[in-house]
């Protein structure tokens, strides 16, 4: 009888664990301040993925008073688009095995480069955003704070 009860409890624990792993995690939606304090990024759902766009800039205009543009973009036809509302994160999908949003890209308008990236919780109202080339072990982490 003990064996049957233990087997039953083990089965229930396994079932609960499996259900927890298959549930969709709550994405880190909302507005986040980058670690430089120069911009705020809004993370939002784009289908099943997580995306992010610039919604605030410390310096929204150039010295001539015109909106700052994506001047370093490698695609010349995109160099006249404003930095504000520019999509800088895309294609992030939730991985329940490590509870992070990964497989996406992050675009850095400061140098015009696009990197692989992942986003994971680094505490309450704090995110680790890691951009890398090739392997995630080789890259740079930035820590963003939720904007209240």
Domain spans in the chain, listed from the N-terminal domain onward? 25-146
**Model confidence at 14: pLDDT above 60:** no
DSSP 124: T
DSSP string, 36-98: TSSEEEEEEEETTEEEEEEEEESS-B-TTSSBPB-TT-SSGGGTTSBSTT-EEEEEEEEETTT
CA atoms within 13 A on the CB side of 62: 10
* Average pLDDT of the segment spanning 37-64: 97
**Model confidence at 18: pLDDT above 60:** no
Domain 25-146, CATH: 2.40.128.520
Summarize pLDDT for 108-137 with one digit per residue, the tens.
999 999 999 999 999 999 999 999 998 888
First and final C-alpha spacing in the chain: 55
- pTM score of the predicted model: 0.80
Tell me which long-range contacts 101-105 makes (C-beta under 8 A, separation of at least 24): 101/27, 101/28, 101/50, 102/136, 104/49, 104/50
pLDDT confidence of 19, banded at 50, 70, 90? very low
Token pair belonging to 27: 């994405």
Summarize pLDDT for 71-98 with one digit per residue, the tens.
999 999 999 999 999 999 999 999 999 9
pLDDT confidence of 4, banded at 50, 70, 90? very low
pLDDT confidence of 25, banded at 50, 70, 90? low
**Model confidence at 42: pLDDT above 70:** yes
Contacts of 94 (CB under 8 A, 6+ apart): 24, 25, 27, 50, 100, 101
The residue ranking higher by pLDDT, 73 or 10, is 73
What are residue 116's DSSP bridge partners? 105, 132
Percent of the chain exceeding pLDDT 70 equals 83
């Amino acid at each position: 009888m003990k064996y049957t009860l233990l087997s039953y409890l083990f089965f229930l624990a396994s079932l609960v664990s499996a259900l927890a792993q298959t549930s969709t995690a709550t994405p880190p939606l909302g507005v986040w301040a980058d670690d430089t304090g120069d911009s705020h990024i809004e993370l939002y759902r784009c289908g099943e993925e997580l995306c992010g766009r610039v919604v605030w800039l410390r310096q929204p205009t150039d010295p001539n008073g015109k909106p700052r543009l994506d001047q370093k973009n490698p695609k010349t036809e995109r160099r006249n688009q404003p930095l504000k509302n520019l999509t800088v994160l895309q294609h992030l999908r939730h991985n329940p095995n490590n509870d992070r949003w990964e497989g996406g890209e992050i675009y850095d308008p400061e140098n015009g480069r696009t990197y692989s990236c992942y986003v994971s919780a680094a505490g309450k109202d704090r995110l680790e955003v890691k951009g890398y080339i090739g392997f995630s072990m080789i890259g740079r982490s930035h820590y963003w704070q939720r904007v209240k």
